[in-house]
Amino acid sequence: MTTRTTTQTSHYHVQKGRRAKFLEDWRGNQRDVVAVADVVMHDSERGHRLGVYVGSDGDRPTRTMDALCHEFPPGVRTSIHRHSWDAMVFVVAGWGWTEIDGQRIDWGPGDSLHLPAWAWHRSGNDGTEPARYLTFSCEPLLETMGMSVLDDRGDAEYADLPPRPPYSDPVEGDDPYARRLRRVHRQQASRRGGRLHTSWDDLELLNTPRGTRTTFLLDRAIGYEASGITMAMFEIAPGRAQSMHRHPGEAWLYVVEGSGHSYLGTEPEGGTEHPWKKGDLIVVDHFLWHQHFNDDPDHTAKVVRIHMFDSLLETMRVLADPLVLFEEPPDHIRDRQAGDPTSVEWPELTRPTWP
């Protein structure tokens, strides 16, 4: 028995219409700043409170990453779960703990953590004050590929749970399958041995030619093994700005301290300015020229920047070569915009406060 499948429209017209609708829907989702006041917190099935800055579960769809806010009242201990994507954590308030594959890590304001894919984890607050952190994950990217899996085991103890998915040992041989076994083994062994925690007390910010001083929070440069999401923090001097630039891929910037505004535009001039303040999330869309300004004449502004450079953007770089995928103005314009960061008397770095 044979079957025959036909459509009333040609392959050309189907794909053309599908792509046009995708772009139309995506452009309708674009946003510039998500204000902290617009993030509605909900009691969750895991036992803590949860809100969405950006993500489909909060009616703000995105394609590569999501950004969620988690609140832990005193005495809370969440259910334990794992998922096929990894997530980055940035603590904004309070003191608590996260258990990752049976290892407890205590954290406080300004600390960062990596939750690896398929690692069992839960968080809690043994103190007397509420705690709060943000997570940034690549779940939307895995959902696009049909590989988004979530497994919640309630109050189970880690010792009673199955381990992460196994992988085979390497084998001898020069055939493609033997090579693949060795390659995947090396990759998984490396990923499962990466760093999990950066303490605020260990941070050291360094001056850059872009008008800021910066530090890595979560990145392979300091020992993390992730899906490609990286987190860095930069500090803008009083009344100064970060120099203008553009690149593909979304860049998200969480305002840790301070207030200011960002220029966003398809060209270096003629775009729009968007004010921001502590707790807001700045959303820089694909390949927009952007520049961030500290409007406070007396205090610095601290911003945490998140994007997927080590996977998505590196892939786009190769596919789009020889197009320039990171672009700055000429040096003399860049330096004029940013000012000389070496002339700034930077304040002592202290842990963030909330609100």
Tokens of 124: 């809690």
Q: How far apart are CA 70 and CA 169, in angstroms?
A: 38
Q: Is the peptide bond before 355 cis (omega within 30 degrees of 0)?
A: yes
Q: If you classify domain 203-343 with CATH, what class do you get?
A: mainly beta
Tokens of 280: 């807001």
Map out the domains of the chain as residue ranges: 33-166, 203-343
Contact 131, 72 (CB under 8 A): yes
Which of the 8 DSSP states describes residue 83?
E
Asked: is 33-166 a CATH 2.60.120.10 domain? The reply is yes
Q: What pLDDT, on the 0 to 100 scale, is given for residue 331? A: 74
pLDDT tens-digit map of 251-304: 899 999 999 999 999 888 899 999 999 999 999 987 889 999 999 999 999 999
- Fold matches, 33-166 and 203-343: yes
Contact 256, 303 (CB under 8 A): yes
Q: What pLDDT, on the 0 to 100 scale, is given for residue 52? A: 96
Q: How far apart are CA 232 and CA 304, in angstroms?
A: 6
pLDDT tens-digit map of 178-226: 999 999 999 999 999 999 999 999 999 999 887 799 999 999 999 999 8
Q: What is the largest CA-CA distance in the chain?
A: 80
Q: What pLDDT, on the 0 to 100 scale, is given for residue 108? A: 98
